[in-house]
């Protein structure tokens, strides 16, 4: 009997409990956790592949406008990007250098997933310095430009190869600007106010893609040298500090914070580089990842000398930059 009574009592309690629950208004849970966005799987950047892309450029010879090496390298880069599935176009023009030289310029533009409206822009310059004006020997001869020119292109071509294997969720445009390194020679006087970055200036004034509005741009310049240091460049912080923080925090997150310095020295002035004109002329918030001593504001001793050859390229630096930028791109939504 005791068992039956307890069952009956439990039954009544359940009955009234259910009715009571039915009569109460349903309230949303206050302790519900927001849905977490799952991070995308970023491919592994292959530093050996990037290194070989640099070697191939150097093998052509100095990529100075109006030379055979320059013309042959342009064909190779365009075909390489096409082979990776990019919609590729070449913006050609004749631009005038500070000394009156007429330069046959080619900006090479590759679009991955051109139908997507959300896009980012990755860019580098591919030409090389026509003189070794900071050297003590053979000053009038052009340089290999393994780091200054070759490294940024090498990293971007490896990224293009990765995009062909696994597409990011957004569209990506790779732009290889020409005639960046034909500015006034050491010791010369130039009356031309904007004598550097002629390719990006022409692109900014003559947009080859109508209404082009990527979310932001990242410039890679001298990103393969040994013991490279990437401080937060002045113009990058001025125009696009939020992108600087995005990239630098990503580098720290994935273990490359020792390359990307958190602070910016007062001795480190702004660099007039392609990103400056992309910001000024196209109004696209863009940053520069560039090797520069954060304490002195000087570039490496190889800069504009014959020492800028394959001997200074470090695969660890290529990996740090390439993996960081790829992580940023693949996490975009």
State the pLDDT at residue 247: 98
- The more confidently predicted of residues 164 and 9 is 164
**Rounded Cα–Cα distance for residues 276 and 260 (Å):** 20
Residue 300 falls inside a structural domain: yes
Residue 287 has pLDDT above 90, yes or no: yes
User: If we measure between CA atoms, which residue out of 168, 165, 177 comes closest to residue 84?
Assistant: 165
Kindly state the average pLDDT of the residues 257-263.
Answer: 88
Residue 58 has pLDDT above 80, yes or no: yes
Apex 6 CA angle, 3 and 12, nearest 5: 145
119 is in which domain, residue-wise? 46-185+196-330
State the pLDDT at residue 190: 82
Residue 15 falls inside a structural domain: no
Neighbours of 254 (CB within 10 A): 15
- The Cα-based distances of 301 to 76, 93, 98, 227, 313 in angstroms read 30, 33, 25, 12, 13
Mean pLDDT of the chain: 90
Q: Could you report the per-residue pLDDT of 67-80, keeping only the tens digit for each?
A: 999 999 999 999 99
Residue 5 falls inside a structural domain: no
State the pLDDT at residue 295: 81
pTM of the model: 0.88
- The more confidently predicted of residues 264 and 178 is 178
Q: Could you report the per-residue pLDDT of 17-37, keeping only the tens digit for each?
A: 433 434 344 344 444 444 456
* Secondary structure (3-state) at 143: coil
Q: Could you report the per-residue pLDDT of 210-222, keeping only the tens digit for each?
A: 999 999 999 999 9
- In the chain, the number of structural domains is 1
State the pLDDT at residue 38: 75
State the pLDDT at residue 36: 53
Enter the DSSP assignment of 310. G
Q: Looking at 82-86, 206-210, 256-260, 292-296, which range is the least confident one?
A: 292-296
Residue 285 falls inside a structural domain: yes
Residue 13 falls inside a structural domain: no
**Phi/psi of residue 171, each to 5°?**
-80, 150
For the domain that residue 154 is a member of, what is the CATH number? 3.40.630.10
State the pLDDT at residue 188: 85
Residue 251 falls inside a structural domain: yes
pLDDT confidence tier of residue 266, bands split at 50, 70 and 90: low
Kindly state the average pLDDT of the residues 110-137.
Answer: 98
State the pLDDT at residue 267: 60
Kindly state the average pLDDT of the residues 187-198.
Answer: 90
First to last CA, the chain: 67
Residue 263 has pLDDT above 80, yes or no: no
Residue 322 falls inside a structural domain: yes
Residue 23 falls inside a structural domain: no
Q: Could you report the per-residue pLDDT of 295-326, keeping only the tens digit for each?
A: 888 899 999 999 999 999 999 999 999 999 99
> Angle 274-282/198-205 helices, nearest 10 degrees?
10
Kindly state the average pLDDT of the residues 157-184.
Answer: 98
User: If we measure between CA atoms, which residue out of 147, 144, 175 comes closest to residue 282?
Assistant: 175
State the pLDDT at residue 265: 56
């Amino acid at each position: 009997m005791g068992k039956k009574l307890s069952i009956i009592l439990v039954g009544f309690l359940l009955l009234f409990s259910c009715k009571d629950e039915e009569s109460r208004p349903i309230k949303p849970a206050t302790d519900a956790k927001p849905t977490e966005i799952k991070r995308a799987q970023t491919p592994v950047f292959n530093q050996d592949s990037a290194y070989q892309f640099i070697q191939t450029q150097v093998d052509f010879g100095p990529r100075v406008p109006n030379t055979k090496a320059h013309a042959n390298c342009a064909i190779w880069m365009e075909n390489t990007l096409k082979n990776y599935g990019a919609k590729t176009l070449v913006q050609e023009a004749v631009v005038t250098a500070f000394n009156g030289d007429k330069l046959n310029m080619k900006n090479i533009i590759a679009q991955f997933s051109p139908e997507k409206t959300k896009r980012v822009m990755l860019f580098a310059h591919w030409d090389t310095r026509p003189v070794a004006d900071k050297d003590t020997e053979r000053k009038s001869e052009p340089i290999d430009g393994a780091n200054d020119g070759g490294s940024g292109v090498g990293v971007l071509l490896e990224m293009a190869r990765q995009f062909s294997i696994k597409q990011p969720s957004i569209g990506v445009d790779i732009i290889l600007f020409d005639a960046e390194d034909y500015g006034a020679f050491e010791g010369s006087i130039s009356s031309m106010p904007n004598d550097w970055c002629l390719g990006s200036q022409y692109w900014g004034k003559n947009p080859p893609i109508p209404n082009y509005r990527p979310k932001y741009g990242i410039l890679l310049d001298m990103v393969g040298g040994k013991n490279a240091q990437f401080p937060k460049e002045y113009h990058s912080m001025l125009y696009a500090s939020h992108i600087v923080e995005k990239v630098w925090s990503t580098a720290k997150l994935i273990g490359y914070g020792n390359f990307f310095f958190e602070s910016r020295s007062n001795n480190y002035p702004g660099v007039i580089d392609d990103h400056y004109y992309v910001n000024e002329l196209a109004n696209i918030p863009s940053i520069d990842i560039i090797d520069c001593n954060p304490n002195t504001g000087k570039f490496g001793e190889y800069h504009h000398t014959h020492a800028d050859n394959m001997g200074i390229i470090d695969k660890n630096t290529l990996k740090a930059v390439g993996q960081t930028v790829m992580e940023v791109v693949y996490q975009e939504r």
